[in-house]
Amino acid sequence: MNARSGRSERPPGTDANRRDRRRARSRNSEDVAADPSPEALDRERRRAAREEERRRVKRSRRRGLLIASAVVAVIVAGVIAVYFTPLLTVRSIEVDGNSSVSTEEIVGDLAIPLGERLVHVDTGAAAQRVAGIPALASARVQRMYPSTVRVTVVERVAVVFVDQPDGTHLLDSDGVDFAVAPPPPGTVRLVTDTPGAGDPATESALAVLDSLPESLRGMVGEVRASSISDVSMLLLDGRTLVWGNRDNAERKSAVALALMSQPGQILDVSSPDLPTTK
């Protein structure tokens, strides 16, 4: 700032440079006027086009900055609303997929209090807590804005039951012992030395049951497995169906159904190409 004149000092040559550019543009215009050749006119058009493009780029940049500022402002306002206002809090909990497990038990293990900010809900940890209920095969927890937590569960289905001193244990298709309760209709008794998930004999027996066609599956009242290759079934009519291992299930099923009309109490399809009856 010049103390005497009160005007800002400009870098040396600034005004001179501007005057030179104005003179150059003026000379170009005069040259075009003096030399109206197509080449001169074309040069002038290109120069004017470059000037217009520079102005367009500047305008576009200014608009971009304004739009970016507006977007940032909206995002900041949204973050403030989510984290610091009472609007997005848990007001209701929905539970879907349960029939044998009560909603109250699921909500209790969910452990999400009403009034907690929805964004603070740890859905992964909550799902693990709910999945810890033995009768549930899986659980999923979701935030449903603006104010709901939804829990979707898949219950285990009893495939076999095992008689134990403390009652009847229900096992699902994976051999998981998930409840002590009366067996549902159609559930087959399992007889093995160490029934449960991870036991090879149990897994083999369950695989054989799963491979049976419905017409044959409905005749089975009990499945026995002393090893993975020694599976047999006690039919509801009192006959025994010797199955062997889990291989060739389709062929064994067809042969077993054909043997049903034959006399004998023991139907052996462990070698389906050489079946026997006794």
**Which CATH superfamily hosts domain 160-277?**
Cell division protein FtsQ/DivIB (3.40.50.11690)
92-155 topology per CATH: Ubiquitin-like (UB roll) (3.10.20)
Q: Which residues of the chain are modeled with pLDDT < 50?
A: 1-8, 32-33
Domain boundaries, the chain: 14-84, 92-155, 160-277
pLDDT at 25: 54
> Among candidates 257, 263, 192, 267, which has minimal Cα distance to 227?
192
Instruction: Say if residues 259 and 275 touch (Cβ distance below 8 Å).
Output: yes
Strand order in the sheet with 276-277: 177-180, 167-171, 160-164, 188-191, 220-227, 230-235, 240-244, 266-268, 276-277
Cβ neighbors of 115 (< 8 A, separation 6 or more) are: 89, 90, 91
Across the chain, what does the average pLDDT equal?
A: 86
pLDDT at 142: 97
pTM value? 0.67
